[in-house]
Copies of this chain bind each other. A is one copy, B any other.
Amino acid sequence: MVLDRIQQLAHQFTATIPPPHPFDPLSTTEIDTAVSIVRAQHGNLNFNAVSLYEPRKAQMMAWLKEPSTASRPMRAADVVAIDASGKVYDGVVDLGEKRIVSWKHTEGVQPLITMEDLQEVEHIVRKDERVIEQCGILGIPREDMGKVYCDPWTIGYDERFGTGFRLQQALMYYRPSVDESQYTYPLDFCPIYNAQTKKIIHIDIPSVRRPLSKAPPNSYHPEAIEREGGFRKDLKPIHITQPEGVSFKINNRIIDWQNWNIHVGFNYREGIVLNNITFNDKGTVRPVFYRLSLAEMVVPYGNPEHPHQRKHAFDLGEYGGGYMTNSLSLGCDCKGAIHYMDAAFVNKAGASTIIKNAICIHEEDAGILFKHTDFRDESMVVTRGRKLIISHIFTAANYEYCVYWIFHQDGTVQLDIKLTGILNTYSLNPGEDTNGWGTEVYPGVNAHNHQHLFCLRVDPNIDGPNNTVFQVDATRGPGEAGSAENKYGNAFFAKKTKYTTPREAMSDYDGNTGRTWEIANTNKLNEYSKKPVCYKLVSREVPPFLPKPGGLAWKRAGFARHAVHVTKYDDEQLYPAGRHVPQTSGDPSQGLPAWIEEAEASSSNSIDNTDIVLWHTFGLTHFPSPEDFPIMPAEPMTVLLRPRNFFTRNPALDVPPSFARTPSQAAKGVDACGCKKRSEGESVLV
């Protein structure tokens, strides 16, 4: 009967509003529909995820080409559910036909830990007698158990417990009072929590104990700052306003801005997903990317002492960058005129939920776009740039990741990530040596060395889906200085190496050649340069994955072994560490290594001039210091995708200049289009 009612409602909707775009995330109504359909057939289940089952690419490409005549791709939900006995089900629900397309019990996997899963552990930990006992040993009396907190990570993988039970490791902390930062008071033991039985099944206790630190709080909340002298008073306001509103148009989830056209999706896992990115090149709409997203990440910690090897969080695959997204209705994180989008999810009980203002879309001034002055006279042009920023911020327990997808007028796509939030901390006895695996950032607080490695998934569509990746190395020319061919020794060129198979494409960054990678369409040459049209991946924060071959994190995070992997496109290959990441052993490695092995074993392993996906792992290695504590100043990282030989000239020449004067105007003393002075010490450019 519920289903009938939903169908009635759906019918009413379809009569009045157009159907969702095939790339649109599921609406709350669609999530509710999917849950009802599953429930009707499979009874009561806990829902882990109900998300858009993305349209198959072949169908979708046909529809994008001819939306009025091609058949609309199936609108479907991708469902992950867990039954009362802990069995995991993966299914697909056709929302048009209102039927389950596929449904299977998937053995030996654990789906990601949701916010609800995270929330429940702390309450149980506080009441567990063995935890209370451990707290007592460290100096925390039973009556203070309300001051004990935990960040309940997935267990990652622990060979003692395997994959059969759904487990979390509770990283333990203490707060002297509710508002003080717990990360100043890490506790030295680690309870293991079984989410199925809701019980602590084990506690890892170090051989050397570390009693609760007696150091005073080190906090960043306003009262703490007031206590220490108060906030600085010498910052004058900067106002950023757009009285005429924004320069972009949004049609549902499609943004049109400065020749760019972008569909903005969002899912529980990756957060923002950008689809069907095109650039209007003087009237010709040219495809650039079919899909861009952050597909996975891993944060390996460098302390080899047990059980710290378990700290290598896959924040996207194990928790969900979408699920952990901040609602920006709580505080405005951007300036200017902001357009927000909400995000819809399912909760464990099967009801749809909403994160208000999950995505922020806004413009920023981008400084000088180009400038040139003729040294002969006072002729000059200076043009300011503008950028469009599509962002979300997610909180992974202690850390914050701010993700900014930035579009430039010159055709560049930039991914910026800012790391902020709080260091993961462990306890240290007075005078204890960190052995170089961490830094004492405050008395009794050991912040371990770690890396943040992100996997950018680039599904290119450079003037069409058949693309090829080239490695580009700045290389010295042949012949030593003094030789006939290179008399003055100054010859150098861009050495390009084509990748023809996924194995060839497994490649690392080489700072010594300033290595970049070109995603090219070899079927189309630039009219002037006669080189293939391409987008170049420029990425400089590309540390090697520091866990050793054969080690736990190395096995589980196969995607991080190389800066670049290239695979042939496959609808099923979205997540480079696998679909279900918690408690994978890495034997065998899921995701990228498995796909590549499979491709290489088959005869269809060509990645030359075909539909491909490039996976780029980048990030940074963080050796903490006291400056990062008790809350870390944002540390930014940048990856660029730049058009090279894609346009026949700078595509932003028609952006109105701030000031332009030609030589003939300079000769006549004409002061051409210039900037308007509003008042002394304040200039406004239009």
Contacts of A436 in B (CB 8 A): 493-494
CA distance A526 to B309 in the complex (A): 28
A244 adjacent to chain B (CB < 8 Å): yes
User: What 15 new A-B contacts, CB under 8 Å, besides A486-B548, A626-B645?
Assistant: A122-B376, A222-B662, A222-B673, A235-B258, A237-B244, A245-B681, A306-B487, A330-B380, A372-B400, A372-B422, A481-B554, A486-B551, A492-B547, A509-B511, A531-B625
The answer to whether B304 and A486 have CB atoms under 8 Å apart is yes
A499 adjacent to chain B (CB < 8 Å): no
Contacts of A284 in B (CB 8 A): none
A601 adjacent to chain B (CB < 8 Å): no
The answer to whether A382 and B331 have CB atoms under 8 Å apart is yes
The answer to whether B633 and A370 have CB atoms under 8 Å apart is yes
A336 adjacent to chain B (CB < 8 Å): yes
A174 adjacent to chain B (CB < 8 Å): no
* Residue in A118, A225, A451, A653 whose Cβ sees the most chain B Cβ within 10 Å: A653
The answer to whether B623 and A646 have CB atoms under 8 Å apart is no
The answer to whether B656 and A629 have CB atoms under 8 Å apart is no
Which one of B247, B443, B648, B684 lies within 8 Å of A528 (CB-CB)?
B443
A207 adjacent to chain B (CB < 8 Å): no
CA distance A382 to B360 in the complex (A): 15
The answer to whether A632 and B370 have CB atoms under 8 Å apart is yes
A437 adjacent to chain B (CB < 8 Å): yes
A397 adjacent to chain B (CB < 8 Å): yes
- Given the interface pairs A237-B244, A550-B489, A650-B633, the reply to whether A621 lies near B514 with Cβ below 8 Å is yes
Contacts of A421 in B (CB 8 A): 370-372
Which one of B228, B489, B514 lies within 8 Å of A547 (CB-CB)?
B489
The answer to whether B309 and A553 have CB atoms under 8 Å apart is no
CA distance A492 to B220 in the complex (A): 30
The answer to whether B410 and A627 have CB atoms under 8 Å apart is yes
Contacts of A629 in B (CB 8 A): 649-650
- Write 27 A-B pairs (CB below 8 A) sorted by A numbering: A178-B664, A178-B667, A222-B662, A225-B654, A236-B246, A238-B336, A239-B241, A242-B682, A301-B490, A333-B382, A339-B681, A368-B402, A439-B529, A440-B528, A449-B494, A476-B546, A480-B548, A482-B550, A489-B548, A489-B554, A490-B553, A509-B511, A529-B626, A627-B644, A627-B651, A630-B650, A631-B650
